[in-house]
Structures are given as structure tokens and as C-alpha cells.
Amino acid sequence: MDAGDLKYLELLSRSFPTQAKAAAEIINLNAILNLPKATEVFASDVHGEYEAFTHLLRNGSGNIRMKIDDAFGHTLTDKEKNSLATLIYYPREKMKLILPNVENQEEWFSKTILQLTTVCKIAAGKYTRSKVRKATPEDFAYIINELITESNLAVDKHAYYNAIIDAVVRTDCAETLIEAMCKLIKQLAIDHLHLVGDVFDRGPAPDLIVDTLMTFHSLDIQWGNHDIVWMGASQGQRGCIAHVVRNCARYGNLSILEDAYGINILPLATFALDAYQDDPCVAFGLKGNPQLNAQDIELNMKIQKAMAIIQFKVEAKLIEENPTFKMEDRNLLHHIDYEKGTVVVDGVEYELIDKVFPTIDPNDPYKLTEQEEEVMQRLVQAFTGSEKLQRHMRFFLDKGSLYKISNNNLLFHACSPLNPDGSLKEVDVYGKKYKGKELYDILEQYVRDGFFSEDPIVKKRGQDLMWWLWLGEGSPLFAKSKMATFELYLIADKAARKEVKNPFYTLLEDESVVDGIFKSFGMDPEKSRIVCGHVPVKVKDGEDPVKCGGRVLTIDGGFSSAYQSTTGIAGFTLISNSYGFVLASHDPLESAETAVRDEVDIHSSRRVITRFLDRTQVADTDTGKELKTQIADLERLLEAYRLRLIPERAK
């Protein structure tokens, strides 16, 4: 062994100071390698739908109900199983409904704890005792671990376990213990969560989703275009802020700004009501049914129009400052004939739906009025000064990335940009061209620079690039030819509104194209899969989310209620366990309250994508590779001890 090896092994010996301890850890790690692979769940495009998404976390994407079936077979009725499942999903809420109607609460507690113990045992079956102990809520770790490690052979200890339960009930700890056991079951049902982009926009509660994710035991996030625009907004990037505020108004979700993140929109509301006082804002109706009163709907429409005009203006400045973005064709305000009420787009003249523009000077259409400038300054201060928003975005940076390679799965939100012939598209990033993995890597570096660089020029580039990632033609998060915001609002002719998808989406059945993407990321095409979202899968029209013989899985199934008429379902989750891959499609959740009261779970249809002939073990995963490296290092340490190259420390 050379000096470098010995130095490293000396450091390792501090954790394993004797031959016995090193050997014991080798034995332990080798045993773990032979456990079944734990369950991973993949989801995408949850778009603020807090109740539906968190219900699927609570039910383990259907896994918990299956474990209840495994545990009790025909010994419980379907109604009893549904009741137990609902208790596991919502223990506190369900006990509030059940307990007032129970005649003998001590008997109910005892029976329920025993049932939960049985489910816990099955849920813990593929994990080491050490991992289960670490997952167990601390206050009841001893009690729960004693209960779930009960051996059927140790009949003489039944009195001991019954005494534990009796003592829990007598000391009024039963409800708290039940909550702890339910929490453990849910944690064991999903070992790791992959969230493939788009937590934000459209739905009413993205902040609550992020709060939930921040307490989730193990996850990673691949940023979506709707996430990156919020990340840019948090750093004061004006184009991103303009979109975020406009979009919240469009979906009647201004409460996300005010109530969730403490962003004061009163100056904006005052400006919008004044500037557009007599304007019916005919092109700015709200999307969906936000259940607002008439006054609030009118306010949202006026704010939406005010921010749309501001957005067109601030984007023009960004486009001028960043010529490499090549988006000059998106500046359309100077192509409007304000007397005729028409606009020229790509050489074609169209009549405008809305012809009232009180804040636009036809002679200088991209100049913000004094009031608009003041509104933007206040919004920048509010976004950058929101402690909660900053905390949430730092969480996205800590747990997120533009892509991830995990267990031979390539995860990204939208696409790897392609040319029409299937080759990797070169994209200009501030004067240099990149494609494939290199494109993703440089873009992620710029995103992080937008938060942390001490060079103001580099930092601004990173922030402006977050806006470009939201809507740029070569952006791997956007994956379309243009963001037709102006056209969608103001031109009725669908020909002007057309947004052409990147060829990635039309070439997903071409194996050679998919192979090229894998090779760009240094992956073996024979063993790899792409998992992505972004474009809703039209299941109701017969579209299949499984592409290229299962090598590409597109899992945007419409968590967002705004997309459910397009998809015909209410979301996908992809489940990867030791047996293979299963794609679950979900029906809508009426409400969490209904789920608790009526014991109604989300109905899910499961489809096996891949079934392995032999169960996948930890040894076959990325974790297994890490453990094998650790074992090899420990074996070298053991050899160094035996050769007396390193002395054992005091026992």
C-alpha cells in the first residue's frame, strides 16, 4: 500500500478502530446487499394540488392498502380494511371521528394497536432493524420496536407484549402511539421519492406541498419550468416575477402570493383598478373555476391584464440585453396598429381580441409608466424579502437539480433538445454552444450562479437564464418553439397561437434516438430508462405514456385539475420496487375531508411495465455500488490491521 492509501485507511480506522469492528461492519454491509431493493416512487407536474398529491404520499401510492391485504387476507372485511387504511393515512383526523362513537375505547385501542403492529411488521420486512429503528418516531421507538420484533415462536412473551399495550392505554398514550405507528408505516411504504418537476403554478397550494416535502424523509427534485420561474422570481428577476404574478391572477390564486408568501400586492391592485378602471379586460378571463365572488374575479382580471402588459415590456428589455437568447420575434407591442386594433405576427395581420391599452405609448410601447415601474420595484422588494419564499427556493436548490441519474433511470422534467433528424440540438448559451448532458450541466451551473455568484455580471446572467429556461426555444425545461402568451391572450386565430413541441416528443419511439440521449449522459442504453413529465399524456384519447418499449416513461397524467379534461385521469405515479416497474394512474380525489369521513381512497389502476425474473437486491442499485466500495475499503483496512501497517486502537 502506498502512503496515500495508508493515510486514508488511518482516517477510516477512527470509525472502525479494531479488526473486530471492521469485520462486523463488513458482515453488516454484505447482509444489506442481499436485501430486496426498497420502493421508489416517481411523480411529476403536481402543480399545487396539495390534497391529491399528499394523499398519494399518505397511501404510499396504493402500497399501504396492498400491505393491509397481505397482512389480513380474508380475516378482515373490505370495510374494515378501508377503515384501517384511512386511519393510517389520516390518524389524527380519523380518530377524532371514530373515538366519540366507540363504547369501549380501551378495547378499540388494543385491537387497533395490534392491527397496526401487524402492518408494521410487513412494511418493515425488506429493511434492516437498524433502518427501521432510525425511521421510528423517537418518543415511541422502544415500544414500537418491541412490538414489531415479537417472534411467533416466543409464545411465553405474549403476556409481555399485552402488558405493553395495556400500559400504553392506561397512561393515555394510545392516540399518540397510533399516530407514531401510522407515520412509520407511511415512511416504510415509500423509501425514496423522485419529483420530476413542476410543484408550482395553477393549483392553489404549492407552498403546502413544499412544506410537506421539506419534512419528507428521502427525496430528490428535478426542476420544472414552472419551478425555475419561481426560483428566478425569488431572486428579483423581473420577467419571472411578472409571469408568476400574472399566472396567479389567471388561475384566481393570488392568495398564494399574499397568504402563503406574505407578498404585498396592494400597490399592484390599486394600480390595476385605477389604470383599467373602465376596461372590461375581455381577453383576461380566469382559467378554471376558482370559486371567487364577482368582485374578486374582476380584480383578478384587471391584475392579470396589468401584469401581462408589464410582462411584455420587461421581457422586451431582457431580450434586448441578452441577444444570444434570439427572441426578438417575441416583441410584438411595436407591431400593433393601435388605431385599427390589429397586430402583425410573422408577416400576417390579425385582429386583436382586446384593443384597450391605456398604459402603452404607441410611440414608445415598451417603456414602463411611472406607476408600472413603481409596481415592479415593490414586487421585486416583496419577492426578495419573503423569508418563506427564500427558504423554499433554497430547499429546491439543496434537493434539486436539472437532471438526475438514479439506478439507471435518467430523470429530467421535459426533454433533451433534439434536431428534427434526432441528433442532439446545440443550444447557444451566452455565446457558446452545448448539447445533451453538457447543456444540462452548464445551465445548472448558471442557475446556481444566479443565487450565489459574487460576480454581479455572472449572477445577473444566471438570473436572466432562469427566465430563458422558463420560455426559451432551446430550453430543455420548456421544449417548445415559443411561449405564445401574447397570442393566446389577444389573437383568436389558432394559427398564431401554435407552439411547436421539440422533436424529442415525436421521436420517442425511435430506439437509435433514445440510445443517443443515453450515450450523451454516459449511460448504457441496454439498461437505462428516461422518466420525464411536462407534457400531459392524453390517456382519454388512447395515448400511451410508455414509449420505446418501456425505455421512456412520460408521467404527466394531470395532477392539476386544469389538465384533467385533457388527460382524462388525475395523475400518474411510477413505482419501482424489487419486482419491477408499475405505472399507477389515479382518479380525482374529491377532498381529504371526504376521504377521512367516507373512507374513500383514490382509485388507482396499476399496470406492470417491467417485471424482473429475479427480485432486485440492494446490490443491484446505486446504493449497492456505494456499499461495495465501502466494503472494499474496509477489507483493505482489515488487511492493514493484520499486516500491522496500522495499529488497532484501544478496545
How does pLDDT run across 604-631, given as a tens digit for each residue? 899 999 888 889 999 999 999 999 999 9
Using the predicted structure, report yes or no on whether residue 251 has a pLDDT greater than 90. Answer: yes
**228 lies in the same domain as 375:** yes
Question: pLDDT tens-digit profile of 555-598?
Answer: 999 998 888 989 999 999 999 999 999 999 999 998 899 999 99
Tell me, yes or no, whether 98 and 15 share the same domain: no
Q: What average pLDDT does range 79-85 have in this prediction?
A: 96
Residues 604 and 636 placed together within one structural domain of the fold: no
Q: Looking at the structure, tell me whether residues 186 and 273 fall in a common domain.
A: no
Last residue of a domain, one of 358, 384, 410: 384
pLDDT score, position 152: 52
**Closest listed residue to residue 642, CA positions, set 11, 13, 7, 3:** 13
Question: Rounded mean pLDDT of 240-257?
Answer: 96
Q: Give yes or no for residue 1 having a pLDDT over 80.
A: no
Residue that has been written with the C-alpha cell 417491467 in this structure: 610
* Confidence tier at 97 by pLDDT (50, 70, 90): very high
Q: Which three cell numbers stand for residue 21?
A: 469492528
Mean pLDDT in residue range 104-113: 94
**Cα–Cα dist 442/203, whole Å:** 31
Specify whether 188 is located in the same domain as 316.
no
Residue 542 · residue 423 · CB < 8 Å: no
Domain end position, chosen among 328, 355, 384 = 384
Mean pLDDT score, 239-250: 97
Residue % of the chain over a pLDDT of 90: 89
Greatest Cα pair distance, the chain, in angstroms, is: 93
Whether 71 and 188 share a structural domain: yes
Domain annotation covers residue 573 = yes
Q: What is the DSSP letter of 108?
A: H
**Separation between Cα atoms, residue 650 and residue 508, nearest integer Å:** 61
Q: Report pLDDT for 155.
A: 53
Residues 148, 70 within the same domain: yes
Q: Which amino acid is at 631?
A: I
What is the chain's mean pLDDT, rounded? 94
Domain assignment present for 648: no
What does the pLDDT read at residue 156? 56
What local confidence, expressed as pLDDT, does residue 582 receive?
A: 94
Of 150-164, 346-360, 520-534, which gets the smallest average pLDDT? 150-164
| Element holding 219 (H helix, E strand) | strand 219-222
Residue 499 lies in a domain: no
Same domain, 604 and 630: no
The reported pLDDT for the residue numbered 157 is 65
Summarised one tens digit per residue, pLDDT across range 629-640 is 999 999 999 999
Instruction: Give the pLDDT band (50/70/90) at residue 526.
Output: very high
Domain that holds residue 261: 224-384
* 501 lies in some domain: no
Q: Give the residue from 333, 350, 384 where a domain finishes.
A: 384
Q: Is the pLDDT of residue 143 over 70?
A: yes
pLDDT at 289 exceeding the cut of 80: no
Report residue 324 CA to chain centroid gap: 30
pLDDT tens digit sequence for 4-32: 889 999 999 999 999 999 999 999 999 99
| 460 part of a folded domain | no
State yes or no: pLDDT of 77 exceeds 70: yes
276 within 8 A of 305, measured Cβ to Cβ: yes
Q: What is the mean pLDDT of residues 36-42?
A: 95
One domain, residues 267 and 147: no
**Dihedral in degrees, nearest 10, Cα atoms 596, 138, 623, 4:** 160
Give the number of domains in the chain: 3
Residues 609 and 633 occupy one common structural domain: no
Q: What angle do CA 14, 9, 625 make, to 5 degrees?
A: 100
Is residue 253 domain-shared with residue 191, that is, in the same domain? no
Kindly state whether residues 110 and 161 are assigned to the same domain.
yes
252: left (phi over 0), alpha (psi -120 to 50) or beta: left
Q: At residue 295, does pLDDT exceed 90?
A: yes
Q: Phi then psi for 144, rounded to 5 degrees?
A: -65, -45
b/e sequence 395-428, b meaning 16+ C-beta within 10 Å: ebeeebbbbbbbbebbbbbbbbbbeeebebbbbe
Q: What is the pLDDT of residue 562?
A: 84
Q: Name residue, grid cell 389577444.
A: 490
* 219 inside domain: no
The whole-number pLDDT of residue 651 equals: 58
Establish if 307 belongs to a structural domain. Answer: yes
Confidence of residue 164 (pLDDT cuts 50, 70, 90): confident
Question: Average of pLDDT values for 45-61?
Answer: 95
- Does 365 fall in a domain? yes
Please compute the mean of the pLDDT values over residues 312-316 and round it to a whole number: 98
